[in-house]
Amino acid sequence: MQQCGVLTSTKTITKPQPQLAPNQKRQRIGLYGGTFNPVHNAHLLVADQVQSLLCLNRVDFMPDFIPPHIDHKSAIDAQDRVAMLKLATSDNSRFGIEMAELKRGGVSYTYDTMKQLLEQNPLTEYYFIIGGDMVDYLPKWHRINDLVKLPRFHFVGVRRQGAKNETNYPVIWVDVPLVAFSSTDIRHRISTGQSIRYMVPEKVAQYIKEHQLYHE
């Protein structure tokens, strides 16, 4: 069975890559960072598509503590966000949760996180998943020039409608089906009494209802 090579091309990946050999020790892990406030089906779709197309061992959802790029005021307690992530990912063996940024605290700068994870996991190749809107923002990222030079680190860009979806930084592009709703939309729907069915996993919807989240 052919082993997966290191993906460094900036072309768009449109077909599943060769699978890992059973005895291959090096791990290929996707990291999907975000506030996940709450996690929803579009997040899961992106993670599943990237995992499949890049033949990753798994995709780890990585909730942030304080995001450096967005307003954090509306984020609920990390304990609830993690609980919903666990519920949302429990039925997919290719999904995991990475707690590094919550354990470290402070502003969740990707450079600091990746330095830590790469040092702790010397046999792991990391594929950091971001939307096209965040790709547009890369020039403003904390220590971006140092970040892209880290060994065993790659950006995976998911094209987004309305974004430029292009950059001079090395990015592996992946096309996924467009789902045009966000966590902000879901929070608004909950606060105004609208249905979020089919927008979040049923277990997550039940958790939100039981804990009366996002009603204010």
Structural tokens at position 11: 């072309």
Work out the burial of residue 28: count CB atoms within 10 Å of its CB; fewer than 13 is exposed, 13-18 middle, 19 or more buried.
buried
Q: Does residue 96 contact residue 126 with C-beta atoms inside 8 Å?
A: no
Q: Could you give the residue ranges of the DSSP H alpha helices within 56-182?
A: 78-89, 100-104, 110-120, 132-136, 144-147
Instruction: Tell me which residues of the chain have a pLDDT lower than 50.
Output: 1-6, 8-9, 18, 20-21, 23
Query: How does pLDDT run across 139-160, given as a tens digit for each residue?
Result: 999 999 999 999 999 999 999 8
Angle between helices 78-89 and 41-53 (to 10 degrees): 60
Residue 97: closest CA among 139, 49, 133, 59? 59
Rounded percentage of the chain residues whose pLDDT exceeds 70:
86
